[in-house]
Amino acid sequence: MPRIPSVRGRLKDNPTPRPKRVLLAAPRGYCAGVDRAVIAVEKALEHYGSPVYVRKEIVHNKHVVAELEQQGAVFVDEVDAVPEGAHVVFSAHGVSPAVVHAAADRGLHAIDATCPLVTKVHREAVRFARDDFEILLIGHEGHEEVEGTAGEAPDHVTLVNSPDDVPNIEVRDPEKVVWLSQTTLSVDETMETVRRLRERFPALQDPPSDDICYATQNRQVAIKKVAQEAELVIVVGSANSSNSVRLVEVALENGAKAAYRVDYSTEIRQEWLDGVSTIGVTSGASVPEGLVQEVLIELADAGYADVAEVKTAEEDLMFSLPKELRRDLAGNRDARALGGRSRAATTA
């Protein structure tokens, strides 16, 4: 699916009770892990030519996936769909050891684009399982990241989908229990789940560091501030993007009268804007900034030309590319070896 450009004049400039404005959340958009993963696929195509295979979506954004497909990437559900000896990229969400072994059995050249913050959670799971802890993994069943983390220690992991699951959790030894989490969850809901778990299991241990990633937290903090003043919040992001969906929920929980998720600006409906003076705009951690700018263009046509950025944090973190991709075709260190787009994603 190619980008659907903004349509000028589609939205009407109807009167509102107060002057129209947009509050643009920052940080928003690409995080360092997404930046690294997308560049990894692009550079793999440069190095090895098309096709390069990618297990699952490299990141949860259908526009990014479509653009990479146009460049020659082929997305597959499992490695058994990849021809023997081909190059395959593991997505930013991570994979279980079983997937790594399956790729090796087929003689595939695997490039691991797992976000380093997800890798950290994997290592925690391995360590706690080695010490015979029961791991209560807070996350969403079926999400690739959860499958990858659980696969590191399948005999020691119990999935906790939500706070409401807590009363039904059973453990072998209440004195040896630890919680870990998916990196893209709602911070508030995760902490509520932990609170309820600790009521049931007072000896529950915390992970050595916060599992919810810095970018997820930063985007939620920013939209909380925006939502206090915005009657409507528009979140740019795909339906299968956990962190994008959470941003809609966080906006509604923190004062926004309405909040909607869109992939493209063309999905904004006129009725959402009726009577709305202040609109908040943000985007999930796997969303290119260009899609946000198209939203701003269409909103400007509807009279929302006054845009104020609401910044709650600075982000300058970048992650090194997978080792196979840190040099260019001539063998020189590549200028993008440390990513390169994550900072630009937080500015208009």
Annotated binding site for isopentenyl diphosphate: 60, 93, 143, 241-243, 286
Which tokens hold the place of 233?
A: 């919040």
CA distance linking residue 284 with residue 320, whole number of Å: 22
SS3 181: strand
Inter-helix orientation angle 116-130/144-152, to 10°: 30
Catalytic residue among 124, 144, 145, 294: 145
* Nearest one of 12, 21, 23 to 304, comparing CA atoms: 21
Inter-helix orientation angle 32-48/116-130, to 10°: 110
Task: Summarize the annotated binding site for [4Fe-4S] cluster as residue ranges.
Answer: 31, 115, 213
Is position 145 annotated as part of the catalytic site? yes
Task: Summarize the annotated binding site for dimethylallyl diphosphate as residue ranges.
Answer: 60, 93, 143, 241-243, 286
- The 10 Å Cβ neighbour count of residue 118 is 24
Residue ranges of E strands in the chain? 21-26, 52-55, 73-76, 87-90, 109-112, 134-138, 157-160, 177-181, 232-236, 258-262, 278-283, 307-311
Task: Summarize the annotated binding site as residue ranges.
Answer: 31, 60, 93, 115, 143, 183, 213, 241-243, 286
> Cα 26 vs. chain centroid, distance in angstroms?
16
Give catalytic residues, as residue numbers: 145
